[in-house]
Amino acid sequence: MCWVPVDASSDFPLENLPLGVATFPDGHTAVVVRIGDFVLDLPRAGIEPELCRRDSMLNLMASGRLSQVRQRAGELLCGEERADLLQPVDAVECRLPFAVGDFVDFYSSIQHASHIGRLLRPGGNPLQPNWRQLPVGYHGRSGTVVVSGTPVVRPWGLVAQGEGPARLQPTGALDFELEVGFVIGSAGRAIGADEADRHVIGAVLLNDWSARDIQAFEYQPLGPHLAKSFATTISPWVVTLDALAPFLVEPPVQEPLPEPYLRAGRPWGLDLTLEVDLNGTTVTRTGFSTMYWTFAQQLAHLTVNGASVRPGDLFGSGTVSGEEPGGWGCLMEISENGREPLTLDDGSTRTFLADGDTVTLRGWGGREGTPRIGFGQCSGRIDAAPERGW
Ligand code: CA
């Protein structure tokens, strides 16, 4: 069948064929398909060369020809051997696959929202009254969405100082957020909850880096602002909705029943396994199928007021957390907001991230006996805050 050797534990078998953008050793940049530990140079293979001889997937996504491109790539990889069209992935530089248009981030894990609510409002109702009636979210900053491997510089911001006025300082509470991001390939507005697959072309892993001390001082009454706008990291491979289709499942039962525009007749939950490594220690392992609001409901909500989406827009699921320790999707939860340090395999402890730390997200779908469809890695290392003259 496929003439490229693919290890059984690989995220990238023939059934996956995610797309991305890579710069080759000779300096040229092209849209590529990932297979095992290799990338397939699409323009060189004669597959949509006009759309793929570019430093962005945007034109290809907007063309509506993504399915055909994956099909032709699959046929080529199962036909006559053409090793000259492949390059080891370690020899190329993976780029941001497309310049992100509008970026929205949701807050749709009931386990995460309840846990954060208990940390912020002890003794109160952990969920705000609107939470079960709409997918809570905010409009984020697209210009600082970066690809995996890009260093993340510790941000400065205003941090409360007890009873005194807040002061500008480097954050002392830098955190990651384990999320899945959904990529728009086809424009629309007022999108029905069962029409998501006409507009979402695929998914990536997404780390919504967050500065908790800056966030705590700024977030009321309008929500997060500078605490999250300095960097958002995504994985380089857009795993298509076609490849993820085997993992679509019924989401949790919703109580109360949401308004009709948020009701779907098709199963839009996604049965994925997600992990976070901090300096090589696995600190989180959880599942995506427990998300209360699905990406289809998020898209329906995002556009119900007439707001449009365009190819290249991106929306994040919100931090993915399970019920138990070990399944929590950010350090604020893992360390109980800084009160209980986490011990890493090297014996060091963390409440929040230190300079030099590397956070790596991984995610995949697949059970015993079925191909593993994965995202690869979404990784970032923390660089020290720059010196300032203030
Ligand atoms: Ca987030």
In order along its 390 residues, the chain shows pLDDT tens digits of 899 999 999 999 999 999 999 999 999 999 999 999 999 999 999 999 999 999 999 999 999 999 999 999 999 999 999 999 999 999 999 999 999 999 999 999 999 999 999 998 899 999 999 999 999 999 999 999 999 999 999 999 999 999 999 999 999 999 999 999 999 999 999 999 999 999 999 999 999 999 999 999 999 999 999 999 999 999 999 999 999 999 999 999 999 999 999 999 999 999 999 999 999 999 999 999 999 999 999 999 999 999 999 999 999 999 999 999 999 999 999 999 999 999 999 999 999 999 999 999 999 999 877 899 999 999 999 999 999 866
C-alpha–C-alpha distance, residues 73 and 82, integer Å: 12
178 CA → ligand 1 middle, Å: 8
199 noted as active-site residue: no
Task: State residue 234 phi and psi, 5-degree precision.
Answer: -120, 155
Task: State residue 197 phi and psi, 5-degree precision.
Answer: -75, -5
71 CA → ligand 1 middle, Å: 34
Of 259, 134, 266, 138, nearest in space to 196 by CA: 266
Q: Are 206 and 181 in contact (CB under 8 A)?
A: yes
Q: Is 141 helix (H, G, I), strand (E, B) or coil?
A: coil
Of 208, 244, 188, 246, nearest in space to 332 by CA: 208
Residues ≥6 apart with Cβ < 8 Å to 252 = 110, 269, 290, 291, 292
Q: Supply the pLDDT for residue 370.
A: 83
The four Cα atoms 18, 19, 25, 27 give a dihedral, to 10 degrees, of 180
pTM of the full structure: 0.98
C-alpha–C-alpha distance, residues 320 and 112, integer Å: 7
14 CA → ligand 1 middle, Å: 32
40 CA → ligand 1 middle, Å: 33
Cis peptide before 151 (omega within 30 of 0): no
Q: Supply the pLDDT for residue 6.
A: 96
293 CA → ligand 1 middle, Å: 14
Cα–Cα distances in Å, from 315 out to 95, 215, 267, 351? 19, 20, 19, 28
132 CA → ligand 1 middle, Å: 18
Cα–Cα distances in Å, from 29 out to 24, 53, 364? 6, 7, 27
Of 282, 245, 220, nearest in space to 373 by CA: 245
Residues ≥6 apart with Cβ < 8 Å to 182 = 200, 202, 203, 295, 298, 299, 314, 315, 316, 317
The residue type at 129 = P
186 CA → ligand 1 middle, Å: 24
335 CA → ligand 1 middle, Å: 17
Of 185, 175, 253, 252, nearest in space to 214 by CA: 175
The residue type at 260 = P
Q: Which residue has the tokens 């409440």?
A: 351
Which entry of 28, 112, 199, 225 is annotated as an active-site residue? 112
| Span between the terminal Cα atoms of the chain, in Å | 63
Paired with 234 in beta bridges are: 147, 206
Q: Supply the pLDDT for residue 389.
A: 65
C-alpha–C-alpha distance, residues 113 and 107, integer Å: 7
C-alpha–C-alpha distance, residues 141 and 151, integer Å: 17
The residue type at 355 = D
Cα–Cα distances in Å, from 282 out to 100, 288, 327, 377? 29, 17, 10, 13
C-alpha–C-alpha distance, residues 240 and 246, integer Å: 12
Paired with 139 in beta bridges are: 104
